[in-house]
Structure 1
């Protein structure tokens, strides 16, 4: 080695530093690859992605290959750097060792570790895909040695009760998927992000959260006189109506107003005809999750259902459109709601809210966060907080919201004035 020119030794040392940088960047690049994007690219027959996928199928073998190559190169470079330092300072070996340690550590840290790994972390695909070709060849060449080293390492891991075959699954929880959608940025348009998150939220909501309550239910009462029924059919804004006798619990069926048009034009109409063209009612429990009910609507070829409680009493109705609007937002015009909205903004920044308004709808409209894990309506929420039905208008605070009851009728809060102030410091 003493006969080899210093220029050749420096050239070999530079080559070893480059190889060390290759192994360091390959390790970071391969481990930083997005597994879902990699899987998609591999299915699209991207050669680099297919090679990387093959290597990552057995991560212990890949890491063993990279670490074996990296350590061999680093040890060879350290030995060569020692020889070069001794050639440069033959009369002072202590100085040669000191200078070699400092300089070699800095060179390896900057050029073989920090810079390559940072670059690979920033652009893993640009590093990992080209490197995968070389890594496959190195893995084949070092296979006996890597197998021997991995066998010993895996045995040691088993001693501490670590199952090397039980790798972390790529499955995402609902919350993790929701975070990915939110952080997608410009890759997914805002409206599409909202729709995707709304789909994920369906499993947390039940039919009871979105149904039209019994008090607001519109239907045909067969006990009414014929003229009243005809007038209701001519002026209704709804396509499907429940038909009942006297009480909504005595449901006869669901009427599609399209089927009644021929009777209205002919002038020959009897209540018996109405019963004949009604479809059998479809009942669902109020605790049914929305994603389940969406599937049930599709399976049963239905668009409207009567919601019942545990005692079988009708609590309201739920339609397919109600569930779809939870995903895409309002896409129909509700004439009744447009004529009398539940939320009325005031000049002083407060809002007068109908007591029958749903808490979720108020939160959605005003970007508020009133509690939704209890009663569904504003009236129910206030009564739960007070723990009694007030006899006269009172004021209370719900979190950051100051609520002033304006009207009470029939043991129900009909209207409340709500003001929000985020500056208020709530007690612990």
Structure 2
């Protein structure tokens, strides 16, 4: 352990550049051609394959794997992209262990599924490396659509609409498009600036204009968009992170996990990114795991995830939990924070043990902490006249909101899991519904 790591407080440079580069290297290295062929040969190409049913975007998984096995990775990628235009990112970040691979026949029979995610990456990377885009636009319809939010749902919706001949303008509050893929996913899952490369590739379809630094409610109104465009799609994600409601929450070192992850993703030199010596993460989802693991990779000495329910009820998959454990992250269940202490800087966190009904047991545990990340969920407050439920937009069918001419999808919309692949499916399906509405059913 270096002297820098022994110092308390939030500091940069706990690890050197070589260690940082190794720690943040690709979590799942790409398969080469031989490895992909061997992996594809394990597939039984099932009729009525359960993996297809488990895929939120309904990719024909046996077909794309057969195409790899027969030496046609570009055709395989086209099979994937027909259903999921962000198939490259989803190959990297999808929780395949709880979706397609969990129900794979070979997983059920042998405990080792076909590596569907890595095969999908092999195929999509092969096609994305080519200069040409695999899709062309249909004849112009003369219709215009505003897509607010350039994350997975918005990008998926925009691409499908552009392919169908509509003119799309995308608005995003940040300085780069990409949304969660650019700002909210662990860096070791998507290294080498893949998120932006994917956006650039997707925009080759044409017919999509991107305006960054444009947030809904900040000079951009839903009323104005409905007036200026024939349809509107909202893929605005979720905003405010819930507060713990504790005294000391304003101490230095207490911040939102999503802000930490976004800063990490936008930092060119990770040795310059400060991290605490003792880190506590409050929450149990994938954001909590991403913040915890990356804290360790930056050189934090101790990292603890504190979750208020039983560990088997954590939103993060078992695979993600095991990933955290292999990186030295401690997971405490049935605990919730009751006190944050320090002078101007956070110094310790007191946790109370709770029972299954969330009632305090009377036992407490105090942890040293100079950095605490909140990863306890996000929600919308209000969105200009739209109906909300539980902090999300209420939708019916393929994303129709309570206001005529306005659709929504992704994390901001009620229903479905908060996953990149789900957002892609919702954006795609909303686009098809918007197309039908704008063309009155004409092809």
TM-score (norm 1): 0.19
Larger-gyration structure (1/2): 1
Q: Which has the higher contact order (CA 8 A, sep 6+)?
A: 2
More helix by share: 1
